[in-house]
Amino acid sequence: MELRDFYEQKVKEVMKKVERKEVPILVKSASIPDVLKMLHNKEHTWIVDNIEDKTLVGVITEKDFFDIISPLPRKTWVTGVIRLKTIHHTEFESAEDLMRRNPISCSPEDIIEKVLDLMRDHRIKRLAVVESKKLIGEVTLSSIIKWYTSCSLLGRSDLTSHRESE
């Protein structure tokens, strides 16, 4: 397989062949203790409207929670914008209060090149895979690396010559 062929593979192929893990999902009404339990075992959780139709509404990552529980600065003065969404300024009752809305997502029909561009541009390592607004899975940088390796591209002369010609 040539490098161009790799980039043109569809997300559904990676999901079918590599990404077999259970996708971490919570409903938006999940309690804060439920969110913490999920983040204890996973780096993130996708937030859906309800478990039946799985309409994707948000995502919570470890970094999101870190931003919320970080202590306020000890300085008496602050430059820049103060983020009011911290545990010091807001009461949180559910996953919906913590989640980042409108997470970056892709379709199972999108190609790997587009997914890698989205990951690079948004500095993220996972995307929700959504079909008709329904969360059907996720694609991670790790799964793309596994797919890349399984395609036997590493060390091939056509890959090396392709890079040299760019």
DSSP notation for 104-135:
-EE-TTSBHHHHHHHHHHHT-SEEEEEETTEE
Between 57 and 151, whose confidence is greater? 57
What is the model's pLDDT at position 11?
94
What is the model's pLDDT at position 59?
97
pTM: 0.77
73-82, 105-114, 124-133, 156-165: which has the minimum mean pLDDT? 156-165
The answer to whether domain 3-165 has CATH 3.40.50.850 is no
Most confident of 6-20, 70-84, 128-142: 128-142
Both structure tokens of 43: 């780096």
CB 139 within 8 A of CB 127: yes
* Model confidence at 165: pLDDT above 50: no
Strand order in the sheet with 105-106: 105-106, 126-131, 134-140
* Model confidence at 121: pLDDT above 90: yes
* Model confidence at 24: pLDDT above 90: yes
Q: Average pLDDT in the 139-160 region? A: 72
